[in-house]
Amino acid sequence: MPMFPPQVHHSHLTPLRFLQRSASVFRQKPAVVYGDRSWTYPELEARVNRLASSLTAAGVARGDRVAFLAPNIPPLLEAHFAVPLAGAILVAINTRLSSSEVAYILRHSGAKALVVDTELAHLVESLLGDLPDLKLVVNIEDVPGGTRLPGPDYEAFLAGGSPEPLDWPLEDEDETLAIDYTSGTTGKPKGVMYTHRGAYLNSLGELLETRMTSESVYLWTLPMFHCNGWCYPWAVTAIGGTHVCLRKLDPAAVWELIREEGVTHFCAAPTVLIALVNHPDAPTTPLDRPLIISTAAAPPSPTLIAQVEALGAEIIHVYGLTEVYGPYTVCEWQPHWNALPAEAQARIKARQGVGYLIADDARVVDAEMRDVPADGETLGEVIMRGNNTMKGYFRDPEATERAFAGGWFHSGDLAVMHPDGYIELRDRKKDIIISGGENISTIEVEQAICAHPAVLEAAVIAIPDDYWGEAPKAFVSLKPGALLDAEELRDFLRERLAGFKIPKAFAFGDLPRTSTGKVQKFVLREREWAGHEKRIH
């Protein structure tokens, strides 16, 4: 029996379709609001087309990497469509990184073009002569001041392009759309490859789980550089919602925008929620319109969930990693839980839950990859696979093979499986520190400390922190006769680490060891966490 031609019954799944449709359907409603400016969907599409055509005219070719170093401003949103429309691959860089970390990402990705906000340009100014792959730099002057690098202004660069629609360059929906670099929890960051298909499906998953509509107004509190903003640049556009951009996270500004712009959705780590609910501008009576908040990065405490929901907002707790496009599971709410007391509801909502509708089920397994008993007590590793799992690590087949052992992605997170099929995280396999939603590698910090000539050895662990959840503390032993104080060491680390990775506290002295000479980090942890409830990641 003859088959239908492929183009009749099949079209590639790509987020590029989202903007194309919304520009055709929603021709008057605002697509983007930023300060006192706004753009309709047709205007957004025209800007995206201009950027894509300008990149192509500047020599950006199919498969080239285009890096963006910018806060949550419209150009970074535009890049999520324009870069793949030009056939290139988007590399959105963490704005909190140090110059050396940014340099590593630019070199490893082989970025051919860099679009940089002038306020962040100092991070790359000294690198330009040592980036042989970089052929184009474009400056975004969003706020006065900053550093202008050799290259055109962003708006002038767009003006040279065409607003007319471009043909999609896509030949395979599994082509790489973006590369997202991890926080380097085991040393150097890894480049996680997202595909057009995965981003398309995960975007639909976000819409389904958060119940977005074309009337939704999404506030950009979550960094767009982080897992491509959990795919929300594409998701909000797909449904025809309104993006409200926010250059800098400020609790007072968040509450003002919620009131003035009618915000209905945003995403935030628990650290951000703590800052919001404790800010003087937080509402004293329940909100007068629905507000849905997706939270992840570190599990929110039941207390925090109760505080936020007392304001009239609804918490949706999700869980995932960079390797799975951000959220992979959600604590899917069951109607019969509504009859439970508020405290019991908050405890349930603190679980990580079940796989998204577009994902496979997450499993909790032992070392032989056998499912652990669903008893809420037996620990195992969370493993995932399916539509919203990464394509692999860019230029790192060995790490990809390790991560995909046995045909599943190994998260490195330890959890239990409850009898109802919901997972709950209990610990991390690695000594990772999660501070304010950002991962910090103890190995990286230890190596930076040991680069000081006075240091003999160092061990870094997480300690309790009322604001960030946890923060790094360094235990340092010095070489015989050497002198070093905390402030001098902190100054030394500022040149080598991003600010949030620098230990909050230092202790100098001998380190506890096993009989074989290994540092006993668990002894240090027990000492620091005595009297505190250990936070579960």
Domain range list for the chain: 11-248, 335-428, 433-529
DSSP type of residue 420: T
The 10s digit of each residue's pLDDT in 273-328 is 878 988 899 999 999 999 999 998 766 666 678 889 999 999 999 999 999 999 99
The model's confidence at residue 516, banded by pLDDT at 50, 70 and 90, is: very low
Percent helix / strand / coil, the chain, rounded to 5:
35, 25, 40
The whole-angstrom separation of Cα 239 and Cα 258 is: 20
Q: What is the pLDDT of residue 365?
A: 97
- Across all residues in the chain, what is the average pLDDT? 91
Q: For the chain, first and last CA: distance in Å?
A: 54
The whole-angstrom separation of Cα 173 and Cα 149 is: 35
The whole-angstrom separation of Cα 458 and Cα 452 is: 11
CATH fold group of domain 433-529: GMP Synthetase; Chain A, domain 3 (3.30.300)
**What stretches of 469-530 adopt beta strand conformation (E)?**
469-478, 505-508
CATH fold group of domain 335-428: Luciferase; domain 3 (2.30.38)
The 10s digit of each residue's pLDDT in 141-200 is 999 989 999 999 999 999 999 999 999 889 999 999 999 998 754 468 899 999 999 999
More confident site: 98 or 140 = 140
The 10s digit of each residue's pLDDT in 414-431 is 888 999 999 988 656 656
Q: Within 13 Å, how many C-alpha atoms sit on residue 306's CB side?
A: 11
Amino acid symbol at 99: S
Q: Within 13 Å, how many C-alpha atoms sit on residue 205's CB side?
A: 28
Helix axes 74-85, 16-25, angle to 10 degrees: 110
* pTM confidence score: 0.83
Q: Does domain 11-248 have CATH number 3.40.50.12780?
A: yes
The model's confidence at residue 14, banded by pLDDT at 50, 70 and 90, is: very high
**Contact between 91 and 68 (Cβ < 8 Å):** yes
Burial class for 512, CB neighbours closer than 10 Å (0-12, 13-18, 19+): middle
More confident site: 384 or 168 = 384
Q: What is the mean pLDDT of residues 198-208?
A: 98
3-state secondary structure 320-365: EEHHHCEEEEECCCCHHHHHCCHHHHHHHHCCCEEECCCCCCCEEE
The 10s digit of each residue's pLDDT in 323-343 is 999 999 999 999 999 999 987
392 pLDDT more than 80: yes
Q: What angle do CA 70, 75, 79 make, to 5 degrees?
A: 95
